[in-house]
Amino acid sequence: MKKWQRSSGYLLMAYAMFLVYQSLQLSLGPPGQPGPGFLGFFLGLALGVCSIGLIFLNRGPEKCESGFTPKSFWEGEAWRKPLISLGALVLFVAIMGLIGAIPAMILFFLFWLRSLEKTGWTLAALVALIATGSFYLIFARFLQIPLPKGLLFI
Amino acid sequence: MGTAIGVLPGLGPAATIALLLPITFKIPSPLTAVIMLSGIYYGAMYGGSTTSILLNIPGEAASVVTCIDGYEMARQGRAGAALGMAAIGSFFAGTIGILGLQFLAPPLASFALQFGPPEYAALTFLGLLLAVYLSGTSVLKGVITGILGLALSLVGLDSVAGIPRYTLGLLELQGGIDIITVIMGLFGVGEILYNMESTTEVKILTTKIEHIYPTLKDWAASKYAVVRGSFLGFFIGLLPGGGAIIASLVSYAVEKRLSSFPDRFGKGAIEGVAAPESANNSAATSSFIPLLSLGIPGNPAIAMIFAALLIHGVQPSPSLITEHPEVFWGVVASMYIGNAMLLVLNLPLVGIWVQLLKVRYAILAPIICMVCLIGVFSFQSSFFDVWVMLIFGVIGYFMRKLGFESGPLILAFVLGPIFELSIRQSLRLSHGSPEIFFTRPISAALLAVAALVIIGYFSIGTRRKKKGHSPSS
């Protein structure tokens, strides 16, 4: 866990440096006329100090009481499902423009329920159709929000 | 809708309000839109107790404490009494909150008309400080997320100079990052990704709820807890960053401290349900006061209502009550009606809420994700916004894993533009001298309170270190 906390500290430090650099590019302005980079500069400095604090507080090896293993960031393969879920979401967004929102939604629900939750085909198909139909009715019909139509104009 | 959201774990009122913002675009009146969204917020406070009592899982964060004694009561076959007391206590507390809103907000708004840029800068600074301090276990992480929120609010065109900043050269970011995108990402997708790690199946303790009305003995035991919880929750809800979660925690701690039999707490004490549920409802209502009288949202859900008002062309500020009295008084009137309806509906419908809990999370999760995706897309028909939301989803996931609270980030994101503009205007007025913040009485008083908060934190931390506790616990 400490390793991950330190890594987040390094990432925040990088963002802090970006903030400071960009702010100086934008100009801080004279004190009587603060420029567009004014607040960003001080935020960058503050973030830099805090990230150093975070790294410092998480220095050294993991501490654990005797007989207990330190808590890991992911227990076993707990990272799998979030990663696959994220993959499904990314894929949905990527193909929504190509094949249209409705077919993409059906595929998304089928994939999620079958691959991640191991539900049966009947339940997965039922949920996919009902959920997609509801989204279509609410967003496309009732709210009149144009959902992307793909190459098949669906 | 609010009760259903409160009942279902995994989707809180802030994310729900964000999801429903696109629906409010079709509502011509800002009043109707705000009433609907407000109803969802305080309705969720009612609903959260159901899962806490029946599942030992809080339906939303402000009902965490209710799990302690509520679930024990359910195990003892007294789920009905716990649910009934939660509902009745919430009704009483909600009424106190509405009365406070009705009578306190107008004079506070009149007072706030004297505010200039230094006062707004000091007020938003105090609000951010409290949000960070009250956010979670680590103040350092709270400060970091607060700074991140402020930094993200700077992305886009500078309001004074009109030049793009921190946009990485992307045209799509010149309009800034949308609050809906951030909230849906952090609280919607991020939460789902985090919950996907857990494989625990939840089991409802009982599906048959009997005797939903508390007995006379229950009333005798909890009447003062309801009153104390209501008033405590009201005042805590006024604080930015305070809100329903802190109110319920403090209320529970106070009841346990004041009880003649503190050992009963944790073993099914009805006061342990009555007090936090009263406090969270009262806080939910009183948190509207800073929004409607000062134009300062105090928590993420209220920040979404702030965004809804802006979208409908109503600028939350001290002059909202005078310029849009129909919005203010309409919201107050609707809260009286909503509060009564929640009491009338929730107790008889508790069986339906129990059935709702049977919907597997496996089915709810992809539906919530899709609502987030389509909801964000529908805002500006922009794929870019959807990708940004997914990025915030990943950020939200890792923030949860690493113990960073999202609340301060959202609040800072919303308050950021007000904070920056106030500071820049103040420094222009004073020709660059920061003395202006300390020479104006209201601004100085607010900064003095902020200084007390900081001193208080460090002195408590030093005392705890001497006793062997961590300073941020």
Per the structure block, which two tokens stand in for B447? Answer: 């900064």
**Structure-model confidence comparison of residues B452 and B208, the more confident one:** B452
ipTM of this complex prediction, to 2 decimal places: 0.90
Calpha distance B446→B423 (Å, rounded): 15
Collapse the DSSP code of B448 into the 3-class scheme (helix H, G, I; strand E, B; otherwise coil) and give the result.
Answer: helix
Structure tokens at A71: 């808590």
What does the pLDDT read at residue B470? Answer: 46
Is B203 an 8 Å CB contact of chain A? Answer: no
Confidence check: pLDDT of B158 > 70: yes
Number of neighbours of residue B245 by Cβ within 10 angstroms: 26
Q: Do A8 and B402 touch (CB under 8 A)?
A: yes
B424 has a pLDDT exceeding 90: yes
Residue B472 lies inside a defined structural domain of this protein: no
Q: Could you tell me the pLDDT band of residue B166, with boundaries at 50, 70 and 90?
A: very high
Q: Does B115 touch chain A (CB under 8 A)?
A: no
A31 neighbourhood in chain B, CB within 8 Å: 427, 431-433
CB of A107 within 8 Å of any CB in chain B? no
Instruction: Assess A42–B contact: CB distance below 8 Å, yes or no.
Output: no
Count the neighbouring beta carbons within 10 Å of the beta carbon of residue A48.
19
Identity of residue A16: A
Residues in chain B closer than 8 A to A144 (CB atoms): 26
Query: Lowest-confidence range among A145-149, B71-75, B382-386, B464-468?
Result: B464-468
Mean pLDDT of B102-121: 88
Domains in chain B, number: 1
Helix (H, G, I), strand (E, B) or coil at B156: strand
Whether B99 is in a domain gets the answer: yes
Q: Do A43 and B151 touch (CB under 8 A)?
A: yes
Residue A100's DSSP bridge partners are A149
Structure tokens at B202: 């939840």
A54 part of contact set with chain B, CB < 8 Å = yes
Q: Is B362 on the interface with A (CB under 8 A)?
A: yes
For chain B, the straight-line distance linking the first and the last C-alpha, in angstroms and rounded, comes to: 35
Name the residue with higher pLDDT: A57 or B353.
A57
How far is residue A93's CA from residue A90's CA, in Å, rounded to a whole number? 5
Residue with the bigger pLDDT between B305 and B380: it is B305
Inspect the interface and report whether the beta carbons of B158 and A112 lie closer than 8 Å.
no
φ, ψ of residue B285 to 5 degrees: the values are: -75, -45
pLDDT in tens, B196-208: 887 555 555 555 5
- Domain assignment present for residue B419? The answer is yes
Range of the domain at B351: 2-467
Q: Tell me the chain B residues in contact with residue A7 when contact means C-beta distances shorter than 8 Å.
A: none
Residues of B in contact with A26 (CB under 8 A): 158, 163, 165
In a domain, B35, yes or no: yes
User: Domain for residue B132, yes or no?
Assistant: yes
Of B8, B48, B64, which is closest to residue B251 (Cα–Cα)? B64
Task: Inspect the interface and report whether the beta carbons of B193 and A82 lie closer than 8 Å.
Answer: yes
pLDDT in tens, B171-183: 889 889 988 888 8
In a domain, B473, yes or no: no
On whether residue B260 sits in a domain, the answer given is yes
Pick the closest to residue B140 from A37, A58, A71 (CA basis).
A58
Number of neighbours of residue B56 by Cβ within 10 angstroms: 18
Please indicate if any CB of chain A lies within 8 Å of the CB of B435. Answer: no
Mean pLDDT across the stretch B99-111? 89
Residues in chain B: 473
Count H helices and E strands in chain B, helices first. Answer: 22, 2
* Residue B376, CA distances (Å) to B54, B370, B385, B465 in order: 33, 10, 7, 46
Tens of pLDDT, residue by residue over A69-127, are 555 667 777 788 899 999 999 999 999 888 889 999 999 999 999 988 888 889 899 99
